[in-house]
A and B are shown apart, each in its own frame.
Chain A
Amino acid sequence: MHSILAVDDSASMRKMVSFTLVGAGFQVVEAVDGVDAYEKAQKQKFDLVLTDQNMPRLDGIGLTRKLREHPQYATTPILILTTESSDQMKQAGRAAGATGWLVKPFDPNRLIEVIRKVIR
């Protein structure tokens, strides 16, 4: 079973993402912000990281950058879930090493579809 780290500071978004993914047969661990996610990612290797962009302490792009410094996460798919779909954000995401982005609000079916595309 593939494991996914779902990062969002909003409990409702987190619950919805994890409900969607667990329903699709993934194992999901939740984290409340970038710092929490980074700590959890070091304890357990995840097959995919799905993170919100705007969060306190450490945002999605910052988390991506930190994770990419780890050999373990050098090639792990990292998707940034965001309400900001500006090119600026995309460029910053790309520069940080994110695999892709997904705009909120998202369709649960599409989320699964995209994740199946990138997860190994």
Chain B
Amino acid sequence: MADTATDGFDLTQFYQIFFEEAGENLQQMEQLLLNLDLDTVDDETLNAIFRCAHSIKGGAATFGFEDVAELTHQMESLLDKLRRHELKPTAPMVDVLLESSDALKGLLARHQGLGGEPPETSALVARIRALAQGQVPAATPAPPPPMAAPAPAPAAASTAVAPAQAPVAGPVGPAGMPAAAPPGALRRLRARIGPLTHMAQADAIQELFRDIAGLGRIIGQRDDGAVRIYDIETTGSNDELLDLFAFHVAREQVVLEPLPTDDAGGAAAPAGTIAAEHSRDVIEEGYGLFAGAPGSPVAATVTDARGVASPAPDLVQGYGLFAGAPGNPVTPEQHAAAVQTDSAPEATGPEGAAAAPGAAAQGDARARDSAKAARAAASAQLETTTLRVSVSKIDQLINQVGELVITQAMLAQYSRDLDATLHQQLLSGLADLERNTRDLQESVMSIRMIPMSVVFSRFPRMLRDLAGKLGKKVELVTHGEATELDKGLIEKITDPLTHLIRNSCDHGIELPRERLAKGKPEVGTITLSAAHQGGSILIEVRDDGRGLSRAKLLAKARERGVPCSDDMSDQEVWQLIFAPGFSTAEVVTDVSGRGVGMDVVKKNIASLGGSVEIDSAEGYGMSVKVRLPLTLAIMDGMTVRVGDEVYILPLSSVVESFQVTATDINTVAQSAQLVKVREEYMPVIQLDRLFAVPRRGEDPSANSIMVVIESDGSRVALVVDELLGQQQVVIKNLEANYRKVPNVSGATILGDGSVSLILDTSALVRRVRQ
């Protein structure tokens, strides 16, 4: 294909759009397939799934991704039969389509240069073909169930009534399978039918071609002993032809092979067909203008024996113009010629008339479809009103707005001491600037916000596969898909959430019979929800499985040498599963590994400035709550002064602040200090000592201010000199611009232009714990 379509055109510039579009189509197809209720499938859903495959195929063929085009062609053929109600959708079909969708993702990733193993598609193609022929395949060649536990046989096996069959039952040898022909393209092949006892049996094949519009035509025939040989020009697949021929002759008696090229001209073409050479041009170029059609410049049109508008020899090359149709720029003579052709015996007349009722029926169907397609309409509308922009451009914009915010804050600070009566206009202008800057910042930040549905949508599929593998029955319920979160966070939260859901399914939800024995519904429920809560987002993964066992956790902790005691609160016991290398599962499975994941999950979430909370009741289930900031770029901070330095504490981790006298602080072993707050001792960190900041000759024994911060469920009190205020700060990454600094998570520029460090509260808390 590259040889024809790239002539003077650089197609690569469209690849990215195609990849994005194909990705969206695959995503949509997957979603629709997963929601497909096999008992009550509606036409609109089937059409929508078909369109996804169809769109990908069209693009892939255009841009030369032939492997993608071939697989989507097979999917499309099966889907076409489904939407035409020639076949009823079954679970094995959904399975093979989902697997094909995965394979397509792999193929597309490779074309994008993302690497990965080339997916094996020939088995998929064979399975799809078999299903499209109405065969029920034997169990899918899936890897053996990983668990020792008795996993139920794949659904396909239970319904399998016939052994797996080769997609084509006829004795068609490998050489006789011109399957490499471009999907749907007109091609020529030779059918050998026989040996026959009565040659008249084969005549019925001729009638097939006469009766079935779109099947193609016979361009030559001869008898070779008891074998009838037909040379055929068709767009149909071998399977379709064999299916049709089977009405008249046994499959075993049909052999399809590509037509030898030197024979093509030699095959006696029936009178009235266009010259073989020309017709080949047409086939290869793939277009036609209908003579006399509106807009067609076509003159004397050559129609084939059936009068179906075939491209005229001078117009051949992949298009057609209809004779006599409006818009056809034919000259009067040409028109006359076209009319003549039309009125010739066996010409378009009867066929055209026959086509009309069919078209009307199609119109009705379309009207029904369009009524149903209100939702599709909305999404199509969306496309015209959205704009694809690269993330780097948005980040640049966010950065610039960040600078603007700082400049505005600076101006506000400098103008604070101006006389309001003398500079009234300037000050009101600055007030406007402040409001506009804030609005601008909010709007810009919202560009990066993406609904959680982007993440949630991948889980139904994952859970379906996983539950099948484990022999469990699980339903996924999602809430708050519309909740928006920063794109950067969305990307980073996906893996930890995947892990949590896998854990719930693997370790939480019990096997169906175990559930029934406990008096629970057979189908377990995993609930995934997202909601805004203050300045953060709360994501919860909840299951109604077996829950955490306090006794088991403590026993395991002792076994692993993780420090613990029987006096620990439930909360603290649950936190044990975050210890490195901790596993509660009795059977190690390949699904969630050995439980090493939970500490990684926690670490990942903490690195995003988030926290994880666990709640559980043994026998009733477990809930993991992940709290994240809405964005990584801006944060509400509390500014505090230590000596001459100003530090910023994330407001989300500040619990309270109070004044203490030196005597409230108790020094214990190794100069560690504790402060007693409401009957509770809390570790103290002297920030001036930690950062080696000289204090301004302030009397250390004088009253000082303590700010209590909380992280990972633990609290520490920080000693500071002054609380300066609260403000939104734009976070600048210190690691990227300088290097990693202990106890510091980033930096920002204050209103007066000075740089201030943002303290890493979780590092501070960890520090005193050790």
Contact = CB atoms under 8 A, between A and B. Distances in A.
A24 to B, nearest CB: 11
Given A97-B326, A103-B286, A16 B380 contact: no
A42 B320 CA distance: 26
B287 A114 contact: yes
Given A61-B362, A83-B54, A102-B287, A110 B383 contact: no
A101 B287 contact: yes
A72 to B, nearest CB: 11
Please tell me the size bucket of the interface on A. 35 or more
Nearest to A116: B297
A90 B309 contact: yes
Contact of B352 (A95, A103, A113): A95
A117 B320 CA distance: 11
Nearest to A108: B9
B235 A36 contact: no
A12 B373 contact: no
Given A77-B295, A95-B355, A117-B297, A83 B58 contact: yes
B295 A118 contact: yes
Contacts of A108: 5, 7-9
A58 B320 contact: no
Nearest to B324: A94
A32 to B, nearest CB: 5
Interface string B485-508: 000000000000000000000000
B481 to A, nearest CB: 23
A9 B289 contact: no
A94 B290 contact: yes
Nearest to B10: A19
Given A75-B327, A99-B325, A104 B370 contact: no
Contacts of B11: 16
B147 interface: no
B210 to A, nearest CB: 12
A22 interface: no
A99 B380 contact: no
Nearest to B360: A95
A21 to B, nearest CB: 12
B325 A13 contact: no
A59 to B, nearest CB: 7
* Residue among A12, A83, A108 having the largest count of chain B Cβ atoms under 10 Å: A12
Contact of B377 (A35, A48, A95, A100): A35
A6 interface: no
Nearest to B314: A117
Given A90-B320, A100-B289, A109-B8, A83 B61 contact: yes
A98 interface: yes
B322 A88 contact: no
A110 to B, nearest CB: 6
From B47, B297, B319, residue with most partner A Cβ within 10 Å = B319
A74 B362 CA distance: 22
Given A11-B17, A114-B287, A105 B58 contact: yes
A91 B366 contact: no
A20 interface: yes
Contacts of A104: 58, 61-62
Contact of B366 (A11, A59, A68): A59
Interface string B313-345: 001011111100111110000000000000000
A28 to B, nearest CB: 15
B59 A13 contact: yes
Contacts of A91: 213, 308-309, 351-352, 355, 358-359
B182 to A, nearest CB: 9
A20 B355 CA distance: 34
A83 B48 CA distance: 17
Contacts of B18: 12
Contacts of B286: 85, 102-103, 106
B464 to A, nearest CB: 27
Nearest to A62: B366
A117 B58 contact: no
A20 B309 CA distance: 28
Interface in A1-42: 9-13, 15-16, 19-20, 32-33, 35-36
Given A57-B377, A88-B214, A95-B352, A100 B17 contact: no
B285 A61 contact: no
Given A62-B366, A87-B213, A104-B61, A92 B359 contact: yes
B309 A94 contact: yes
A106 B318 contact: yes
A55 B5 CA distance: 23
A117 B334 CA distance: 15
B226 interface: no
B408 interface: no
B186 interface: yes
Contacts of B352: 91, 94-95
Contacts of A20: 9
A98 B320 CA distance: 10
B29 to A, nearest CB: 14
Contacts of B356: 95
Given A92-B359, A102-B287, A106-B318, A68 B326 contact: yes
B288 A100 contact: yes
Contact of A16 (B7, B62, B297): B62
Contact of A84 (B7, B184, B285): B184
Nearest to B283: A85
A94 B322 contact: yes
B287 A106 contact: yes
A44 interface: no
Interface string B6-25: 01110101100110010000
Contacts of B287: 100-103, 106, 110, 114
B294 interface: yes
Q: Which of B288, B325, B351 has the most CB of A within 10 A?
A: B325
- Of B54, B63, B317, most buried by chain A (CB within 10 Å of CB) is B54
Nearest to B69: A105
Contacts of A110: 285, 287, 317-319
B293 interface: yes
B59 A12 contact: yes
B390 interface: no
B54 A54 contact: yes
A118 B297 contact: yes
Contacts of A11: 17, 21, 383
Contacts of A61: 359, 362
Contacts of A84: 184
A78 B320 CA distance: 11
Given A56-B51, A57-B376, A83 B57 contact: yes
A98 B287 CA distance: 14
Contact of A92 (B17, B59, B317, B355): B355
Nearest to A117: B297
**Closest CB pairs A-B (n = 10):** A77-B295, A99-B295, A103-B286, A100-B321, A105-B62, A12-B18, A100-B289, A91-B355, A86-B214, A102-B319
Given A83-B184, A114-B317, 11 more contacts: A9-B55, A62-B363, A76-B295, A83-B54, A85-B235, A89-B214, A99-B290, A101-B288, A102-B318, A107-B285, A110-B318
5 contacts: A10-B55, A12-B62, A54-B54, A105-B62, A117-B315
Interface of B: 1, 4-5, 7-9, 11, 13-14, 17-18, 21, 47-48, 51, 54-55, 57-59, 61-63, 184-186, 213-214, 235, 285-290, 293-297, 308-309, 315, 317-322, 325-329, 351-352, 355-356, 358-359, 362-363, 366, 370, 373, 376-377, 380, 383-384
